[in-house]
Amino acid sequence: FRIGTEKDIISEEIDKEIDTISMKEDIDKAVDYISKRFE
């Protein structure tokens, strides 16, 4: 039971990390797009 709970916590953390990474990538793409428009 305890191992399952720890696994859930770990996968939750991983999900959060993935969300953060994909958000950062989206922001990077947006910044690229905007800076290209103003070149």
Q: How far is CA 24 from the centre of its chain?
A: 6
Q: What is the pLDDT of residue 18?
A: 93
What pLDDT does 15 receive?
A: 95
Q: In 1-39, where does DSSP find H-type helix? A: 2-37
Q: Tokens in use for 26?
A: 């989206």
pLDDT tens-place string over residues 1-39: 677 788 898 999 999 999 999 999 999 999 999 999 988
Alpha carbon distance 22, 16 (integer Å): 10
pLDDT for the residue 7: 87
